[in-house]
């Protein structure tokens, strides 16, 4: 397993970048604007991790700006932890056998979400190319929220 990023939702991109980059000293290394989903993802690295971040070998902070939502209450601004895994199907199967609910099954062979006992959302991403869609994941519904 490889730690990837922590996601934090932000209500104002300029204020967030002022804080994280201008004040804290982090560096923007990648940005994704998604018109269809109406969100922007901004990935930041610590100054000492910028070179490693260019090929995603460094943990990052992901700022998520949802274009239509700007006020987050009750901790909704913290999104999730993310880990890259060698075999998403094997890991999800092992977790289920240990009593962990797969909130968002890896129907696409690439991404799944689970929650910690304290309710922290954890994203699991398949290393490399997605696995071929397969049962039981393909027809498994979402459970709860992630």
Rounded distance between C-alpha atoms, residue 19 and residue 17, angstroms: 5
Rounded distance between C-alpha atoms, residue 113 and residue 125, angstroms: 9
| Helix or strand run (H / E) with residue 115 | strand 111-115
* Location of structure tokens 């959302």: 121
Q: Catalytic residue among 2, 35, 123, 129, which?
A: 123
One digit per residue, the tens of pLDDT, for the chain of length 146 reads: 888 889 989 988 999 999 889 887 889 999 999 999 999 999 998 888 888 887 767 789 899 999 998 787 767 678 788 888 999 999 999 999 999 999 999 999 999 999 887 677 889 999 999 999 999 999 999 998 87
* 123 a catalytic residue: yes
At 10, list the tokens. Answer: 């932000």
Beta partners for residue 123, in sequence order? 82, 113
Of 5, 1, 51, the closest CA to residue 32 belongs to 5
* CA 42, chain centre distance (Å): 12
Going along the chain from its start, the domains and CATH numbers come out as: 2-66 (3.10.180.10), 79-126 (3.10.180.10)
Beta partners for residue 45, in sequence order? 27
């Amino acid at each position: 397993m490889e730690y990837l990023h922590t996601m934090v939702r932000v209500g104002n991109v300029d204020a967030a970048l002022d804080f994280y980059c201008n004040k804290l000293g982090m560096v923007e290394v990648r940005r994704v604007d998604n018109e269809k989903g109406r969100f922007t993802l901004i990935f930041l690295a610590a100054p000492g991790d910028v070179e490693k971040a260019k090929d995603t070998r460094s943990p990052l902070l992901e700022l998520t700006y949802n274009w239509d939502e700007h006020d987050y209450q009750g901790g909704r601004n913290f999104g999730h932890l993310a880990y890259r895994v060698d075999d998403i199907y094997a890991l999800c199967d092992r977790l289920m056998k240990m009593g962990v609910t797969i909130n968002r099954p890896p129907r696409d062979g690439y991404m799944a979400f689970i929650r910690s006992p304290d309710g922290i959302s954890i994203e699991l991403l398949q290393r490399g190319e997605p696995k071929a869609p397969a049962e039981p994941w393909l027809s498994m519904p979402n459970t709860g929220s992630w």
